[in-house]
């Protein structure tokens, strides 16, 4: 019931944001004739994870409809994250009230932004981070239970579905084990002044970056801690301070495991802050910024909310029903309103098989059903930022190739510098988009094989078999 409530509160938008990077890999496995051009902009991610294979082969094995399969995977991810939080809270607090407090709070705050990392606790669409999230919580719980083989298994699963997010439960586990050994041998306890620092280089070269890569990377301010806003910095330091305070409270209430977990997580946050400063600030290390060490806050935030919910359930809400309602009803309504404001032109839950309400999505759906699979499209390189577009991905919804865009392909380039020159060349070939005329589209056809375009304004000389109130889908002569 909580998983269903979380889905209804936070919404479901299967083709938005990073779905443009991850879903084409699944679609290509299911139909290899798709995406004859531009595969490099999604295969770079797909080649580093088993996520597309896992989802695609599960759909083949069950003969499930593609859209229904995505929804089932999304619901399962939410359910398993809540189950993992339920298990961890029971280990840390013990009481039923605390477990319900922790799990309900996570369910209510799934789409809370994680400081300046451009991450949510869980996204409103299926992607590898959602699977890695519950795996990380299960892994940390196993570490706290000293069930190290089980922890390794969950970390291995996270590594299979996401090339980076597994590092954070692994590093927490390593820190936990190292500190445990130090404490056992010397009697030393974590006090608060001690810090450690480390950096995972992940094989990333330190060679100077190209101007094209620098142009792409600087479009993503969340890579660079110096570009964060003041409230994002508050979202970095605040949780560390709160966790240290929680550790003190837990000690006074004779909960040694909770106290130790809070202190180790606070130290974990300090370590990754030092790593972020080390790789973000020196210009010579720009290429290292893309490992995004402050994504470590994702796991820290989940643990923080488990602690907050547990303390609230145990000591504030207790067995007073009206207190539970007074906290969680307004909180859930506020999160729902925020999500509606984030995707104002789309249905809050985009159910499989339903006609999309968004005009851009309607055009992309028409393209999927009425154009050849080998078609190459051109579209405004900045289309995902346009008002009313709601960050819906063309490639994943239309299932057609397109030239590189600024938003998502630019994000891919920031992680994979060898793609930078090709990306910049394609983006510049489509700029300035709103001033392009039929001869310019013919030029794109001759250079890149573009045969269709999606435009917002009438263009003389183009035949447009599909139009709606916002966009036109036109053939290039």
Going by the DSSP 8-state scheme, the letter that residue 355 receives in this structure is P
pLDDT confidence of residue 47: 79
Q: Which two tokens stand for residue 313?
A: 């359930």
Torsions phi, psi of 452, nearest 5? -135, 155
Sign of the dihedral defined by the CA atoms of residues 119, 120, 125, 128, in that order? positive
In the chain, count H helices and then E strands. Answer: 19, 5
**Alpha-helix residue ranges (DSSP H) falling in 294-358:** 297-311, 321-342
Token pair, residue 211, equals 């101007």
The answer to pTM > 0.85 is: yes
pLDDT on residue 279: 76
* pLDDT at res. 45: 78
Residue 392 is classified by DSSP as B
Token reading at 190:
């974590």
The number of C-alpha atoms within 13 Å of 329 and in the hemisphere containing its C-beta is 6
What integer pLDDT is reported at residue 205 of this predicted model?
Answer: 45
Separation between Cα atoms, residue 267 and residue 447, nearest integer Å: 54
Residue 432, SS3? coil
**Ranges of each domain in the chain:** 65-318, 359-475
Helices marked H in 126-229:
128-144, 148-161, 167-186, 211-217
Contact between residue 295 and residue 164 where contact means Cβ atoms under 8 Å apart: yes
Look up residue 170 and give its two tokens.
């692994």
Residue 435 tokens read as: 């001033």
The two tokens of residue 387 are: 């008002």
Question: How much is the pLDDT for 214?
Answer: 52
pLDDT at 316: 94
Q: How far apart are CA 403 and CA 423, in angstroms?
A: 9
Q: How many angstroms separate the CA atoms of 64 and 381, rounded?
A: 33
Phi, psi of 185 (to 5 degrees): -85, -30
- Answer yes or no: are the C-beta atoms of 417 and 40 closer than 8 Å: no
3-state secondary structure of 31: coil
Q: pLDDT 10s per residue in the chain (477 long)?
A: 999 999 999 999 999 999 999 999 999 999 999 999 999 988 887 778 999 999 999 999 999 999 999 999 999 999 999 999 999 999 999 899 999 999 999 999 999 999 988 899 999 999 999 999 999 999 999 999 999 999 999 999 999 999 899 999 999 999 999 888 877 776 555 443 333 333 333 344 444 555 655 555 555 566 667 778 888 889 999 999 999 999 999 999 999 999 999 999 999 999 999 888 887 766 655 556 667 889 999 999 999 999 999 999 999 999 999 999 999 999 999 999 999 999 999 999 999 999 999 999 999 999 999 999 999 999 999 999 999 999 999 999 999 999 999 999 988 887 787 888 999 999 999 999 999 999 999 999 999 999 999 999 999 999 999 999 999 999 998
Residue 260's pLDDT is what?
94
């Amino acid at each position: 019931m909580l998983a269903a409530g979380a889905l209804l509160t936070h919404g479901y938008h299967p083709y938005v944001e990073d779905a443009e990077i991850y879903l084409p890999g699944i679609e290509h496995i299911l139909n290899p004739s798709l995406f004859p051009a531009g595969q490099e902009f999604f295969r770079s991610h797909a080649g580093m994870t088993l996520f597309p294979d896992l989802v695609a082969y599960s759909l083949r094995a069950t003969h499930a409809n593609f859209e229904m399969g995505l929804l089932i995977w999304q619901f399962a991810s939410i359910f398993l994250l809540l189950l993992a939080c339920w298990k961890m809270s029971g280990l840390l607090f013990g009481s039923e009230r605390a477990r319900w407090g922790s799990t309900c709070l996570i369910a209510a705050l799934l789409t809370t932004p994680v400081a300046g990392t451009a991450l949510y606790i869980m996204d409103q669409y299926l992607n590898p981070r959602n699977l890695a999230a519950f795996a990380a919580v299960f892994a940390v719980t196993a570490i706290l239970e000293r069930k190290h083989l089980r922890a390794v298994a969950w970390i291995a699963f996270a590594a299979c579905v996401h090339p980076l997010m597994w590092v954070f439960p692994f590093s927490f586990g390593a820190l936990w084990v190292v500190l445990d050994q130090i404490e056992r041998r010397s009697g030393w306890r974590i006090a608060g002044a001690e810090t450690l620092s480390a950096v995972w280089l992940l094989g990333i070269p330190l060679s100077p970056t190209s101007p094209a890569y620098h142009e792409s990377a600087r479009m993503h301010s969340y890579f660079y801690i110096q570009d964060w806003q003041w409230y994002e910095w508050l979202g970095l330091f605040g949780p560390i301070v709160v966790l240290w305070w929680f550790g003190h409270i837990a000690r006074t209430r004779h909960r040694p495991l909770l106290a130790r977990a809070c202190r180790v997580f606070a130290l974990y946050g300090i370590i990754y802050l030092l790593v972020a400063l080390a790789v973000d600030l020196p210009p010579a290390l720009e290429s290292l910024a893309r490992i995004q060490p402050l994504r470590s806050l994702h796991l820290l935030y989940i643990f923080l909310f488990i602690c907050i919910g547990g303390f609230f359930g145990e000591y504030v809400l207790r067995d007073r029903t009206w207190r539970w309602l007074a906290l969680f009803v307004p909180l859930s309504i506020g999160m729902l309103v925020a999500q509606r404001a984030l995707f104002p032109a789309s249905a809050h839950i985009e159910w499989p098989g339903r006609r999309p309400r968004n005009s851009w999505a309607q055009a992309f759906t028409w393209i999927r059903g009425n154009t050849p699979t080998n078609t190459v499209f051109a579209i405004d390189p900045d289309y995902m930022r346009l008002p009313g577009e709601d960050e819906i991905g063309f490639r994943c919804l239309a299932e057609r190739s397109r030239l590189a865009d600024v938003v998502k392909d630019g994000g891919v380039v920031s992680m994979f510098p060898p793609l930078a020159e090709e990306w910049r060349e394609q983006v510049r070939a489509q700029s300035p988009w709103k001033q392009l005329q039929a001869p310019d589209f013919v030029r794109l056809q001759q250079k890149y094989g573009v045969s269709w375009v999606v435009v917002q304004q009438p263009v003389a000389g183009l035949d447009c078999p599909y139009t709606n109130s916002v966009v036109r889908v036109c053939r290039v002569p």
